[in-house]
Amino acid sequence: MRLLVAEADASLAEFLQTRLQQEHFAVQLASTGEQISKFGEKSLFDLILLDLNLPGVPGADYLRQLQIRWPEAPVMLLSPASSVEERVKGLDAGADDIIMKPFAWSELAARIRAVLRRRNRPARESFQFEDLEVNRVSHEVRRAGRPVELSPKEYALLEFLLRNPGRPVTRTSIIEEVWRIHGDSITNVVDVYINYLRRKIDSGADQPLIRTIRGVGYQIGGNHRVG
């Protein structure tokens, strides 16, 4: 995932770059509207974090320029604006989300995942990964045609892995996304549920799908895509 962080505060920009890179995002920084303009249409971004106080950025109307240049990239606003009217103006101008400064990193990270999830959500109600079939409506799961019974939490964990095919996800991000708990104090529960999934999904299969990425977390598959 490629992110453009357009933030005037250099220390905040560096902090965001470091934390996002720890979450395996590729990050480009810009501190002025002129620097943003140097990224041409061929520069691909999966999401843009935009500080509305950036020099050379004429307020919320600037979003229309970004949408013309990168129509597929959702935009999240980082704003000190406290009035409802200003927040509404930003959303009406096309922002996918807005977060007020100062903010907690865990909340920003969760909002980024939510925006990317909405943009990347498949239109169809079912999808297939290798020989694993998942119905997103009924939550029915099959591996090589064999029905797999999962608990609600096991299904939520599997779906989160499937939304990141071939990419490692951290235990902390799993806890925040699946259990809706911020922090990393109980990430051992992830290991327990990963083992549950492995017994149900990979047991008896020729090719295990769930991989442990040492020092990071887990991922499903290698460099594959959901079909």
- Which tens digit of pLDDT belongs to each residue from 125-183? 677 888 999 988 788 999 999 999 999 889 989 988 988 888 899 998 888 778 767 66
Identify the H or E element spanning 105: helix 105-120
Give the pLDDT confidence of 183-220 residue by residue, as tens digits: 656 668 899 999 999 999 998 888 899 999 998 899 99
> What confidence category does residue 72 fall into, taking pLDDT thresholds of 50, 70 and 90?
confident
Tokens representing residue 144 in the block:
């090589």
Domain 2-120 has CATH 3.40.50.300: no
- The domain defined by 126-220 folds into Arc Repressor Mutant, subunit A (1.10.10)
Domain with CATH 3.40.50.2300 in the chain: 2-120
* Rounded average pLDDT over 2-12: 94
Identify the H or E element spanning 171: helix 171-174
CA-based R_g, the chain, Å: 19
Helix, strand, coil shares of the chain as percentages rounded to 5? Answer: 40, 20, 40
Domain with CATH 1.10.10.10 in the chain: 126-220
Tokens representing residue 91 in the block:
């959303």
Identify the H or E element spanning 33: helix 33-37
Length of the chain: 227
Residue located via tokens 């290991």: 191
